[in-house]
Amino acid sequence: MELLPPIPNDASDRKRDSERFCASPPVLDQFLDLHQVIGKTGNKSKSSIYQEIRDGTFPAPVPIGKGRVAWVSSELLFWQRGCIEARRKAAEAHAISNKNKKEKDPTPAKEAGRVNYS
């Protein structure tokens, strides 16, 4: 059984697959309780999770019974992928920033910290 779409071969396949993946939930959606969610978020605290829900940066749980809530596994997966994408974009921005700094600073790296008193 295939959980994720196959790797696309060209741009049109990629667009079609990304639309399909984002538009429809995975076949095996599951409900996750708070302890499972904490484990899948790298041991984020309960209060952090609920604060991020209020901030709109974390998926909200769904009611599943009297006084019971659960998170949908595909929504948590989407959140995880968003975190990974944000890290990638931050790394790219950092690399561009460093490249621009090096281009603006004509001082060689070896000479940068030295003071000439003569």
User: In this structure, is residue 6 part of a structural domain?
Assistant: no
User: In this structure, is residue 113 part of a structural domain?
Assistant: no
Q: CATH code at 45?
A: 1.10.238
User: In this structure, is residue 14 part of a structural domain?
Assistant: no
User: In this structure, is residue 3 part of a structural domain?
Assistant: no
Q: What is the 3-state secondary structure (H, E, C) of the chain?
A: CCCCCCCCCCHHHHHHHHHHHHHCCCCCCCEECHHHHHHHCCCCCHHHHHHHHHHCCCCCCEEEECCEEEEEHHHHHHHHHHHHHHHHHHHHHHHHHHHHHHHHCCCCCCCCCCCCCC
Q: What is the pLDDT along the chain (118 residues), one digit of tens a residue?
A: 445 555 555 555 555 555 555 555 556 799 999 999 999 999 999 999 999 999 999 999 999 999 999 999 999 999 999 999 999 999 988 887 776 766 665 665 555 566 666 5
Domain residues for the domain of 78 are 29-93
Number of domains observed in the structure of the chain: 1
User: In this structure, is residue 103 part of a structural domain?
Assistant: no
User: In this structure, is residue 82 part of a structural domain?
Assistant: yes
